[in-house]
Amino acid sequence: SRLYDVLSLKNNGSNFQYWKHRVLTVLNLRGLMGLINGTESKPDPSNPLVLENWVIRDKEAQAQITLTLKDKPLSGVLYVNTAQEAWKKLKEQYEGK
């Protein structure tokens, strides 16, 4: 599946609310919202197929988020492991600014 063209989150985060709305729309469309809102947590490794599917979907959500960031916001999420972690960090940094 391809990434949707979403305007980048600016370095100063001034367009965060608009960027957030666009990204959430795409994640919802793709059925990936549970990965960032916590309703779909990482499954137990005892079921490799379920875990592999989750990892693929999480990477898709991470890509949709991180590939729409300018360098400064991206620098804050370079070393996170999940889409939920990236989303949480971005909200903490830019929500309400």
- pLDDT score at 15: 94
pLDDT at residue 2 in the model? 62
42: DSSP letter: P
**How far is the CA of 55 from the CAs of 32, 50, 81, in angstroms?**
12, 9, 10
Q: How many domains does the chain have?
A: 1
CA-closest candidate to residue 38, choices 83, 93, 92: 83
Whether residue 69 is contained in a domain is answered as yes
Q: Is residue 8 domain-resident? A: no
Which pLDDT score is estimated for 70? 94
Residue 5: predicted pLDDT:
73
Task: For residue 62, give the amino acid letter.
Answer: Q
pTM for this model (two decimals): 0.90
Enclosing domain of residue 77: 16-94
Q: In the prediction, which pLDDT does 3 show? A: 62
The reported pLDDT for the residue numbered 4 is 65
Residue 80 within a domain: yes
Domain presence at residue 82: yes
Residues of the chain short of pLDDT 50, as ranges, are none
Q: Please report whether residue 2 resides in a domain.
A: no
Instruction: Give the Cα separation of 22 and 47 in Å (integer).
Output: 33
Q: Per the domain annotation, does 22 fall within a domain?
A: yes
Q: For residue 69, give the 3-state DSSP assignment.
A: strand
CA 48/CA 5 separation, integer angstroms: 32
26 located within any domain: yes
Q: Which two tokens stand for residue 25?
A: 């729309």
| Per-residue pLDDT at 6 | 79
Domain-located, residue 29:
yes
